[in-house]
Amino acid sequence: MDEQKTNCEENDSEPTDDNTTAKQLVSSDGESKVIPAADESGANAASSNTSSESVRACALCNCVERSLHGQRELRHFGPFSERPTLKPSASPLPQPGNDDLSSIGFSDSPCLTALLDDSGCWVHYWCAVWSEGVKQTEDEELENVDKAVISGTQRICAYCKRLGATIQCHAEGCSRFYHFPCSAASGSFQSMKQLVLLCLEHIDKAEELGEESWCAVCDSAGELTDLLFCTGCGLHYHAACLEIGATPIQRAGWQCPECKVCQTCQPGEDSKMLVCDACDKGYHTFCLQPAMDSLPTDPWKCRRCRVCMVCGVRGLVLPGSAQWFDNYTVCEGCQHHRSSVCCVCSKAANPSVALQCCSMCH
Ligand SMILES: [Zn+2]
Ligand SMILES: [Zn+2]
Ligand SMILES: [Zn+2]
Ligand SMILES: [Zn+2]
Ligand SMILES: [Zn+2]
Ligand SMILES: [Zn+2]
Ligand SMILES: [Zn+2]
Ligand SMILES: [Zn+2]
């Protein structure tokens, strides 16, 4: 599968601080452990589209249907409101984002006709239902999603600073808006029952929601900023109570231990589930490409969380079969180069002199 073309261009922008591996850099102990070259298929990135047809993406978060940020399915919403007549536009559809937190929404105000047509628009169910002004009718339909799309083209997300933000902080007078993936990534409090978001500055108000804000482990609100929101069941968990991290990529689309499903096949059996050390998303060993026979004993990282600390290449750009070294921080190519270059004087050594210091520095 090589449908990852949209992922290649984006490795220059890095606003998220999810790079937990940066400090490990290249260890020079000369013992680079080979990590099994198995991986998930990365099927979330528009694998089902065929040739010329453009990939359908959400008119708010600009992610494709199989996004990892918990937005649920893409739905079509018809026009509910009067809106300016849209002239057909010559401008191309915006490219769907690559699901990286740095590519949520739109950098420039997208042309409305690219997002909406006379029959309506495509939006993730949860991107729609949390949006300001969207109402749920008695028969569970959502109204005014198109209005939200129109207002989103002018609204900047308080977290990622890109357009398409429609989820407003519930605190009175607060004008912060977020994309759905950024709601969680920003550490805001989210209530699934009331579809309410409270930004970090107003997170104290979550205590007024009583049990809604309690951690499922310790049964107390405790440190509100430490709470992770499960996009499956809506329960909250303190990161500390689960002994996991709370980085933006872990928070976005987070699923609690009860709800965790494989990101490749979605529901399915929960045996042989690998959990990524960096983003806390689950993958079946048998859904990886190539498949793994058993759970590895060392920490494992999914392809989207692998970044080479030497050349900057990202895991999604390399084939799933590519090998990684040093806890997924050195790519195959750089490892190969590293093992043939002296780590002290950087001169190419006789390939048979592996690592450590070559004869030229001694
Ligand atoms: Zn969306
Ligand atoms: Zn955002
Ligand atoms: Zn606020
Ligand atoms: Zn707790
Ligand atoms: Zn859950
Ligand atoms: Zn699976
Ligand atoms: Zn990951
Ligand atoms: Zn590299």
CA 273, CA 285: separation in Å to the nearest integer?
6
What is the dihedral sign for C-alpha 6, 12, 13, 16?
A: positive
Residue 345: name the closest of 328, 332, 359, 331 by CA. Answer: 359
Determine the Cα–Cα distance for residues 359 and 73; give it in Å rounded to an integer: 60
Which of 164, 182, 206 terminates a domain? The answer is 206
Is the separation of the CB atoms in 226 and 217 below 8 Å? no
Q: How far is the CA of 183 from the centre of ligand 6 (A)?
A: 26
> Which residues are found with C-beta within 5 Å of the ion, ligand 5?
230, 232-233, 256, 259
Q: Which of 357, 335, 327 is nearest to 345 (CA)?
A: 357
Is the pLDDT assigned to residue 354 strictly greater than 50?
Answer: no
Q: Do residues 153 and 285 both lie within one domain?
A: no
Instruction: Please enumerate in sequence order all residues whose Cβ is within 8 A of that of 185, keeping only pairs 6 or more positions apart, or say none.
Output: 16, 101, 159, 160, 248, 249, 251, 252
Answer whether residue 90 is part of any domain.
Answer: no
Domain boundary among 161, 185, 206: 206
Contact 105, 166 (CB under 8 A): no
**Section 282-291 average pLDDT:** 88
Banded pLDDT at 297 (limits 50, 70, 90): confident
Write down the pLDDT at residue 88: 54
CA 281 to ligand 7 centroid distance, Å:
6
Same domain, yes or no, for 62 and 167? yes
Residue 142 DSSP SS3: strand
Interval between CA 101 and ligand 6 midpoint (Å): 23
Spacing, Cα 109 to ligand 2 middle (Å): 14
Alpha-carbon distance of 76 to 119, in angstroms, equals 9
Q: Is the pLDDT of residue 86 over 60?
A: no
In the numeric block, which tokens belong to residue 224? 């509100």
Decide which of 157, 178, 206 is a domain's last residue: 206
Best CA proximity match to 130, nearest among 109, 115, 152: 152
Q: Residues 194, 274: one domain? A: no
Which residues surround the ion ligand 8 when the cut-off is CB under 5 Å?
308, 310-311, 313, 331, 334
Helices (H), 143-214: 145-152, 180-185
101 CA to centre of ligand 2 in angstroms: 8
Residues spanned by the domain of 332? 28-44+263-362
Cα angle, residue 161 at apex, residues 205 and 229 outer, rounded to 5°: 40
CATH at residue 284: 3.30.40.10
106-132 residue pLDDT tens: 998 877 778 888 888 999 999 999 999
Residue 116's pLDDT is: 85
Q: What is the pLDDT of residue 349?
A: 54
Cβ(164)–Cβ(153) under 8 Å?
A: yes
Both 70 and 184 in a single domain? yes
Answer whether residue 283 is part of any domain.
yes
**Contact assessment for residue 163 and residue 106, using Cβ atoms and an 8 Å cutoff:** yes
Asked if residue 129 belongs to a domain, the reply is yes
- pLDDT recorded at residue 253: 96
55, 57, 59, 60 alpha-carbon torsion, rounded to 10°:
-150
Percent of the chain's residues with pLDDT above 70: 73
**Pairing of the two strands 177-178 and 167-168:** antiparallel
Report how far ligand 8's centroid is from the alpha carbon of 305 (Å): 14
- What separation in Å is there between the alpha carbon of 237 and the centre of ligand 5? 9
102 and 32, same structural domain?
no
Do 38 and 74 lie in one domain? The reply is: no
Identify whether residues 199 and 289 lie together within a single domain.
no
Amino acid (1-letter code) at residue 312: G
Quick check: is 121 in a domain? yes
DSSP state of 331: E
pLDDT in tens, 167-180: 999 999 999 999 99
Report yes or no on 123 lying in a domain: yes
- Residue 212 maps to a domain: no
Q: Which of 292, 330, 293 is nearest to 311 (CA)?
A: 330
CA 236 to centroid of ligand 6, rounded, Å = 25
Whether 132 and 276 map to the same domain: the answer is: no
**Mean local confidence (pLDDT), 65-85:** 82
How many angstroms is it from 358 CA to the middle of ligand 3? 58
Give residue 48's pLDDT.
40
Task: Give me ligand 4 centre to Cα 212, in Å.
Answer: 13
Q: CB burial class (10 A; 0-12, 13-18, 19+) of residue 266?
A: exposed
Looking at residue 24, what is its pLDDT? 38
Q: Which ligand is nearest to the CA of 255?
A: 5
Residue 321 binned pLDDT confidence (cut-offs 50, 70, 90): confident
Q: How confident is the model at residue 73, as a pLDDT?
A: 93
Q: How far is CA 217 from CA 19, 157, 277, 287, in A?
A: 28, 31, 21, 30
Query: Which ligand gives the minimal distance to the CA of 62?
Result: 1
Q: Are residues 62 and 129 in the same domain?
A: yes
Ligand closest in space to the Cα of 214: 4
The verdict on residue 53 lying in a domain is yes
Measured CA to CA, the distance from residue 39 to residue 103 in angstroms comes to 23
Least confident of 76-80, 161-165, 198-202: 76-80
pLDDT value of position 7: 37
Residue 72 lies in a domain: yes
In this structure, are 345 and 326 located in the same domain? yes
The tally of domains found in the chain comes to 2
As a whole-number percent, the residues of the chain with pLDDT over 90 amount to 55
The residue with greater pLDDT, 52 or 305, is 305
Clarify whether residues 151 and 193 are in a common domain: yes
Find the helix or strand (DSSP H, E) in which 250 lies: helix 248-251
If asked whether residues 195 and 304 sit together in one domain, one would say: no
- Average pLDDT of the chain is 81
pLDDT digit string, tens, across residues 229-263? 999 999 999 999 999 999 999 999 999 999 999 98
Which pTM does this prediction carry? Answer: 0.77
**N residues, the chain:** 362
Distance from residue 211's CA to the centre of ligand 4 (Å): 12
Mean pLDDT of 23-48: 43
More confident residue, 147 or 344: 147
Query: With 50 as the cut, is the pLDDT of residue 45 above it?
Result: no
